[in-house]
Amino acid sequence: NAGVMQNPRHLVRRRGQEARLRCSPMKGHSHVYWYRQLPEEGLKFMVYLQKENIIDESGMPKERFSAEFPKEGPSILRIQQVVRGDSAAYFCASSPVGTGELFFGEGSRLTVL
């Protein structure tokens, strides 16, 4: 099992462009979580998804940010019209059905110029 895979590992965008971050959960995991890590601020929850459903998006900014986890393919976190404040590391984690351990990806580091 390759573990949670995130790509790209590093992404550079100019202000106003779009950023798409992908997360492939571990095989057999149907729960995906996205977290943002800002310097000095630890991990902040953004969104929790199951296949084709957004379960909890209370941590997502109301504008410009969206997430999906389609029936086939990876989960995608999309940030439109990026601003400098979006620069951060974005981590994806997956878990099997129910509670238990979260398995993290290596993160995607977004830099907005």
Partner 1 sequence: AQRVTQPEKLLSVFKGAPVELKCNYSYSGSPELFWYVQYSRQRLQLLLRHISRESIKGFTADLNKGETSFHLKKPFAQEEDSAMYYCALSTGNQFYFGTGTSLTVIP
Q: Please report, as ranges, the residues that interact with partner 1 according to CB under 8 A.
A: 3-4, 31, 33, 35, 40-45, 48, 55-56, 91, 93, 95, 98-99, 101-102, 104-107
Q: Which residue's CB is nearer to partner 1, number 4 or number 21?
A: 4
Q: Which residue's CB is nearer to partner 1, number 13 or number 31?
A: 31
**By the 8 A CB rule, do 30 and 51 touch?**
yes
User: What three-state secondary structure class fits 21?
Assistant: strand
CB of 73: closest distance to partner 1 in angstroms?
Answer: 22
Pairing mode of beta strands 19-24, 75-79: antiparallel
Q: Which residue's CB is nearer to partner 1, number 35 or number 65?
A: 35
CB of 38: closest distance to partner 1 in angstroms?
Answer: 10
Q: Which residue's CB is nearer to partner 1, number 16 or number 61?
A: 61
Spatial CB neighbours of 24, under 8 Å, sequence gap ≥ 6: 4, 5, 6, 74, 75
Q: Is the dihedral of CA 71, 73, 74, 75 positive or negative?
A: negative
User: What three-state secondary structure class fits 71?
Assistant: coil
CB of 83: closest distance to partner 1 in angstroms?
Answer: 23
